[in-house]
């Protein structure tokens, strides 16, 4: 997970087409603006889970497995 610090009025870019902008911060609430192409689905996570179901856990990684070089 990438963690970024942004102030009101600042943005981050995702790929070349999606801008996530911090509009305002009021107490514990953060107001975000999302500028994305119309063909990009943008949902709050609780809505996304209702549509798609709970995300599956990543497969466990076997750290003892040799790595080919």
Q: Which residues pair with 24 in a beta bridge?
A: 31
CB 45 within 8 A of CB 52: no
Distance CA 58, CA 1 (A): 14
- pLDDT tens for the chain, 69 residues long, are 999 999 999 999 999 999 999 999 999 999 999 999 999 999 999 999 999 998 777 666 666 655 565
Distance CA 43, CA 50 (A): 10
pTM: 0.68
At residue 56, the pLDDT reads 78
Inter-CA distances, 19 with 26, 43, 60, Å: 21, 15, 33
């Amino acid at each position: 997970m990438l963690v970024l610090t942004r102030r009101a009025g600042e943005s981050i870019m995702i790929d070349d087409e999606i801008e996530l902008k911090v509009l305002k911060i009021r107490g514990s609430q953060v107001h975000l603006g999302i500028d994305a192409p119309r063909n990009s689905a943008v949902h709050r996570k609780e809505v996304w889970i209702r549509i798609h179901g709970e995300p599956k856990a990543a497969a466990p990684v076997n750290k003892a497995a040799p790595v080919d070089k």
